[in-house]
Structure 1
Amino acid sequence: MYCREDLKESFPMLLGLLSFFVQTVFFVVVAYFALYVLLELRILFISRRVERCKLTELTEAVQPSLRVGDDYKPSVSVLLPVHNESFVVERLIDAACRLRYPADLLEILVLDDSSDDTSRLARARVEQYAARGVNIRHVCRNDRQGYKAGNLAHGIHQASGEFFAIFDADFVPPPDFLLKTIPYFRDPQLGFLQTGIGYENKNKSFLTRFQAMEMGHQQYVTVGLSEEGDMASLSGSSCVWRKSCVEVLGGWNTSMVTEDVDLGYRAQFGEWKYAYLRDVVSMSLLPESVSAFRVQRERWGRGLIHSGFKHVRQMLHQRMPLMKRLHAISMMFSSVLLASIYVLVLLSLPLNYLVDFDNATMQWVLLAFFGLVAVWGLDNAFGARKGARLDEKPGALRTLWGIYLYIAMFLPMAWYYFAGGIRALLGVHGEFNRTPKGMDERRARMPRINMILLAGELFTFVYSMLAILAAVQKGNYFLIPLNFTVCVGFGMVLFWSWRGIRGNEQAT
């Protein structure tokens, strides 16, 4: 009898503690999101101001110490890391051999880690160009240890250039790429340079348009970050590295699946300068199937979260002004923020039972959250369209509907990043799953993580439906917009998955 009464007395206390915990997590995520939105608005304003300048003015504003000169021609090694890329490897080699630069100062290394027909195709293409006098070699290694990072680490030991220009297998650089980028390295403190990326198949489907906009937004933000000299994230392809910078930093870390971001962080902490040239554009391909997309984003989320936590202590000890530090935190932990949005989705059901929505504080926080989402969605879509160079100008209603679907797609991405973050916490750091693109996606076998992520999508869709029913039952209508948008976003990817199972996975 005593134990039963004791339990009755302690039960309200446990509920109170649980309610306090849930609300605290919710408030922390909203506060972090508010900081992120304000900082992004500031950077987008700077990007817009810079983009209004003429190209010559932009060049001088971003790197005033650099002067383009025809007499500066250091030796360059073009590195082409490939792994089972038979669909695109020949056009990659063709594009690299079209690069205009003094022949005696240029070498091209095809770093081939393939285990399929790619090696035969690459070797034959290399032999064709070598017979014409092009300084090109086909480099293989005995094992695939360290994946792409290990391949690059092996490749630079074979390279003789003072600079490394790197292109992934699905990239096509413009012929004048080196002529427009190498002169910037007259500044001896310039460690690396990133250029713009365009996407050949961006109008293939809604999924490819979303990806082009989402990554175009990142490029547009980088314009402002580079103008301010703030920390930026390197994409790892269509970029140039100074050899001495790579050597001082110890090269690529083979334990990281986002080795490019890791090396870029280390360079910036080492006080090397970087430059960003958005108007020098290499063309690339986007995943067209939702399976390839979700596997790619889980890997990115896992690597970016791992990199953020790995370097946070060094960042906090780095001497920098408060605004630069805030931007560094915002950029390094944007992946954690995205993963935390999925935590809000998981909290939406218990919030209906544990929180008094008649409380004025909770109502104001929810209104602030949805207001921030609206502001973020509008400014993100603006930057995304500018960054992706979308020329289409739809009407007002279609534009708003497109922005809403664009926002909805970030919720499945939040799940992929959340899953990647959990795997990173569990020590799964080095697992690398190649992202097939284009026609190669039709024959590629997806790794096991694809089915796990698909199961999570189905769970989240059903979970959010239950949360909507609970909200209606309780009269708590404040969270319904969130859960409804979750159902829209996850409904899209589930529909595309269903089409994929039926053999028609184009995400229309």
Structure 2
Amino acid sequence: MSILAALLSYSAQAVFLVVVVYFALHVVLELRVLMISRKVERRKLTELAQPSVGLEDAFSPPISVLLPIRNESAVVERLIDAACRLRYPAEGLEILVLDDSSDGTSALAQTKVGQHAAQGVNIHFIRRQNRKGYKAGNLVNGIRQSSGEFFAIFDADFVPPEDFLLRTMSCFKDPRLGFLQTGIGYENRDKSFLTRFQAMEMGHQQYVTVGLSEDGDMASLSGSSCVWRKACVESLGGWDASTVTEDVDLGYRAQIGDWHYAFLRDVVSMSELPETVSAFRVQRERWGRGLIHSAFKHARQMLRQPMPLMKRMHAISMMFSSVLLASIHVLVLLSLPLNFLIAFDGTAMLWGALAFFGLVAIWALDNAFGARKGARLEDRPGIVRTLWDTYLYVAMFLPMAWYYFAGGIRALFGVHGDFHRTPKGKGRGAQRSSLPRINAMLLAGDVFTFVYSLLAIQVGLQKGNYLLVPLNVTVCVGFGMVLFWSWQERRSDGQG
């Protein structure tokens, strides 16, 4: 073997083993958090139900409900109606509709605001002259015109329960509590396998957050169905428009800055998931880009912050989980050259590959368990169906790894603020808005990765390197699903 070939071989093996070791750390820490989450859930089951909070006993400081919208004609009226149904002392509540729209959404929102204002609701329509700072800039502009000591934020596709404020505001009696996140449910969860996968994947994140919150560890929280203390937001300088995940960025800064957070999984606002694979693809690239950017942006400050070793390990694992997911795509890209560069028998790669698949099996089972609990799935399929569904669930993470990888590369090249909203509303028609060019690039990557993995399977079988074949087969399953959905979507658009 030439020196160059040997160097390439050792480099590829080193990258593979580093990813395996980091994945192992992530799996162990996640198992620990899931155990904590289960203890919390069991404790709640044994506690007596608490009486509902009455208005006369509630902690009810002035609060502003912020509704940032942008071209949301399918759901904006429902959002405003839901916000106006929130139960809270009228003298302490104001609702601000923050409009950045460029279509008919503005007229719908203004009409609906006028109807509620005529009924005595303290609601106002606020429209900016430009979209500077995108959603972050819209929120900052809204805060400047608000009067509340706290901010409750709901994205356009959310429907909070009427008692949302009554069940959340009492937590802020603790002056150290800077912000609070609540649970999220999905109305279209069972629309398709794609929506069910998303509900499970985000349900898993919510279930993990239960354990992180209980243990006092850092968490990555959503920017909707949440409440922020104004003093906390102002002390941090507000939302940062330089990142497309401004909610996660502000949450990291708050936690690193010693503000506490709370997570109330049992207070659930309903939302909607992207129903088309194109919308899902663009959304996840944006999330990956923002999460990876935020992780590296705040890593140094987090490492300087004094904290126990276990909490620091959880912080690293949580903040860089998006990097870990993106690195799985690196393993996929390495699968073909590894088949040419090395033989797996009798090498460290043999044990590394076996360890990787063992970890994947453990992670798949614990992730699927947390996902079902978090998504509140009540059906109980048989063992064979459960294993098959879990396999397909795991396979869908491989296209996600590509979208996060692409987002990470774009973040590396300084693309931090290229914001594309996720279409909301029922059905394909509501979500068939013009897609950004990044969708075509990601789709091309889907095709390339599918063909690339087919080639890796062929080479692996020819050379007798069978250990990576299961990985490439699963890659083909995952990317095969998204390519099939893309074909269905294109066919539907052609017939529409």
What's 1:166 paired with? 153
Specify which of 75, 87, 96 is matched with residue 83 of structure 2. 96
User: Aligned AA for 1:387?
Assistant: G
Answer yes or no: is 1:298 the counterpart of 2:285.
yes
Q: Deviations over 1:295-351 (max 9, x none)?
A: 000000000000000000001100000000000000000000000000000000000
1:448-472, Cα deviation, whole Å (9 max, x unpaired) = 0000000000000000000000001
Out of 387, 394, 397, the residue aligned to residue 400 of structure 1 is 387
Task: Tell me the residue number matched to 1:482.
Answer: 471
Q: Report how far residue 71 of structure 1 moved.
A: 4.4
Q: Quick check: 1:493 aligned with 2:489?
A: no
Question: 1:77/1:56 Cα in 2 relative to 1: closer, same or farther (>3 Å)?
Answer: farther
Q: 3-state DSSP class of the match of 2:459?
A: helix
Q: CA deviation at 1:374?
A: 0.3
Q: CA deviation at 1:363?
A: 1.3
Partner residue, 2:9: 19
User: Cα deviations across residues 361-402 of structure 1 (Å, max 9, x unaligned)?
Assistant: 221111110000000000000000000001111111000000
Q: How many residues align?
A: 489
2:351 to 342, 364, 372: 364
> For the residues of structure 2 that align with 1:363 and 1:118, how far apart are their CA atoms?
58
Secondary structure in 1 matching 2:113:
helix
Amino acid paired to 1:36? H
Partner secondary structure for residue 53 of structure 1: helix
Letter in 1 for 2:486: S
* Segment drifting more, 46-55 vs 475-484: 46-55
In structure 1, the gaps of 5 or more residues are 1-10, 61-67
Alpha-carbon shift at residue 53 of structure 1 (Å): 1.1
CA distance in 2, matches of 1:344, 1:69: 58
Alpha-carbon displacement from aligned partner over 1:109-147 (angstroms, at most 9, x marks no partner): 000000000000000000000000000000000000111
| Residue of structure 2 equivalent to 1:6 | none
1:265–1:487 Cα change, 3 Å: same
Structure 2: distance between partners of 1:170 and 1:17:
52
Q: Quote the residue 2:127 is aligned against.
A: 140
Q: 1:35 aligns with which of 25, 36, 45?
A: 25
Per-residue CA shift, 1:136-165, capped at 9, x if unaligned?
Answer: 000000000111001001100010000000
Kept in 2: contact 1:289–1:441 (CA 8 A) = no
Instruction: Indicate whether 1:467 and 2:462 are aligned.
Output: no
Q: 1:200 to 1:106 in 2, by over 3 A?
A: same
Contact 1:69-1:183 at 8 Å conserved across structures: no
CA contact (8 A) 2:275 2:431 kept: no
Write out the 4+ residue segments of structure 1 that deviate beyond 2 Å after TM superposition.
54-60, 437-443
Is 1:147–1:432's contact at 8 Å kept on the other side of the alignment? yes
Give the whole-Å Cα distance in 2 for the aligned partners of 1:447 and 1:58: 51
Assess if the C-alpha contact under 8 Å between 1:193 and 1:276 holds in 2. Answer: yes
2:192 aligned with 1:205: yes
**Deviation of 1:57 (Å):** 5.2
Partner of 1:456: 445
Q: Cα–Cα, structure 1 residues 483 and 97, in superposed 2: closer, same or farther, change >3 Å? A: same
Q: For residues 473 and 71 of structure 1, do their structure 2 counterparts lie closer, same or farther at Cα, with a shift above 3 Å needed? A: closer
Per-residue deviation at 1:58?
10
Partner residue in 2 for 1:50: 40
AA partner of residue 49 (structure 1): K
Provide the C-alpha distance between the structure 2 equivalents of 1:402 and 1:157, rounded to a whole number of angstroms.
Answer: 48
Pairing 1:274-353 to 2, within 5 Å after superposition:
274-353=261-340
> Is 2:230 the partner of 1:243?
yes
Task: Say if 1:350 and 1:330 are closer, same or farther in 2 by CA, change over 3 A.
Answer: same
Secondary structure of 1:351 counterpart: helix
State the secondary structure of the residue aligned to 2:188: coil
**Structure 2: gaps of 5 or more residues:** none
Q: CA deviation at 1:358?
A: 1.0
The answer to whether the 8 Å contact 2:58/2:166 transfers is no
Match of 2:373 in 1: 386
Q: Secondary structure at the match of 1:263?
A: helix
1:55 is displaced (CA, Å) by 6.3
Shift of 1:356: 2.1
RMSD of Structure 2 on Structure 1 (CA):
1.6
Kept in 2: contact 1:219–1:278 (CA 8 A):
yes
Distance in 1 (alpha carbons) for counterparts of 2:353 and 2:293: 30
SS at match of 2:181: strand
Separation in 2, partners of 1:300, 1:347: 24
Residue 443 of structure 1 is matched in structure 2 by: 432
Q: Given that residues 287 and 404 in structure 2 are in contact (C-alpha distance below 8 angstroms), is that contact kept between their aligned partners in structure 1?
A: yes
Superposed displacement of residue 355, structure 1: 1.5
Q: 1:249 and 1:272 mapped to 2: Cα distance?
A: 10
SS in structure 2 of the partner of residue 204 of structure 1: coil
Q: Distance in 2 between matches of 1:304 and 1:275?
A: 21
Give the C-alpha shift of residue 443 in structure 1: 3.5
Please point out which of 221, 224, 228 is paired with 2:211.
224
